[in-house]
């Protein structure tokens, strides 16, 4: 497990209006995976500049770049939004991160049961959000996608695949946390 310096932290940045209870839940649970404190940033980020009217979605790479204003040179920044995200080669993404960089982004839009016409299930949403936040931060800590079925770093192409993966790293990924790189990955 990576251990960031004492000055480092994971800054959770709400994008637009995200449920405070979800943000607090993630701030409490994520330190267990990354051995570093999480703080919720008071300022929110406006997602409108990343909106693509033709797709009626937000371009995740552009939104990820907007998060750069919250990078203080130490630690990681995790943006959390409820807007629908895409990158040009995919219909949608649950999130995106800079592999080995400071920035990660995730959306709860397609993690909510209501998106699929089902009744709200807050416990399921929180579990899914924790998995996707851990996954995107795993990328920020240098991890690529993993083929192991028992790893949170496994690529998820659907919410069913999110539900099937655990909220933990496999032994290989846990050993590899912190490997630097420069690309971005979407999931």
Q: Which residues are catalytic?
A: 136
> Other C-beta atoms within 10 Å of 155: how many?
15
Length of the chain: 187
Query: Six-digit token pair at 16?
Result: 């637009």
Residues 6+ apart with CB under 8 A from 174: 1
Residues 6+ apart with CB under 8 A from 175: none
> Pick from 80, 90, 86, 70: which is nearest to 134 by CA?
80
Alpha helical stretches, state H, the chain:
20-29, 31-34, 60-66, 122-140, 159-164, 171-176
* 17, burial (CB in 10 Å: exposed 0-12, middle 13-18, buried 19+): exposed
Question: Do residues 63 and 46 lie in contact, with contact meaning Cβ atoms separated by under 8 Å?
Answer: no
């Amino acid at each position: 497990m990576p251990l960031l310096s004492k000055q480092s932290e994971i800054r959770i940045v709400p994008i637009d209006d995200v449920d405070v209870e979800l943000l607090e839940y993630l701030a409490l649970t994520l330190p267990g995976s990354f051995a570093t404190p999480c703080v919720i940033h008071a300022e929110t980020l406006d997602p409108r500049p990343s909106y693509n009217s033709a797709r009626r979605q937000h371009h995740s790479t552009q939104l990820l770049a907007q998060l750069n204003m919250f990078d203080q040179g130490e630690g990681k920044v995790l943006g959390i939004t409820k807007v629908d995200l895409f990158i040009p080669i995919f219909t949608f993404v649950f999130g995106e991160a800079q592999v080995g960089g400071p920035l990660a982004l995730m959306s709860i839009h397609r993690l909510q049961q209501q998106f699929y016409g089902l009744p709200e299930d807050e416990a399921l949403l929180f579990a899914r959000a924790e998995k996707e936040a851990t996954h995107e931060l795993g990328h920020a800590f240098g991890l690529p996608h993993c083929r192991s079925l028992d790893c949170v770093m496994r690529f998820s192409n659907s919410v069913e695949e999110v539900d099937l993966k655990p909220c933990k790293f496999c032994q290989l990924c846990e050993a590899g946390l912190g490997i630097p790189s420069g690309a971005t990955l979407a999931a």
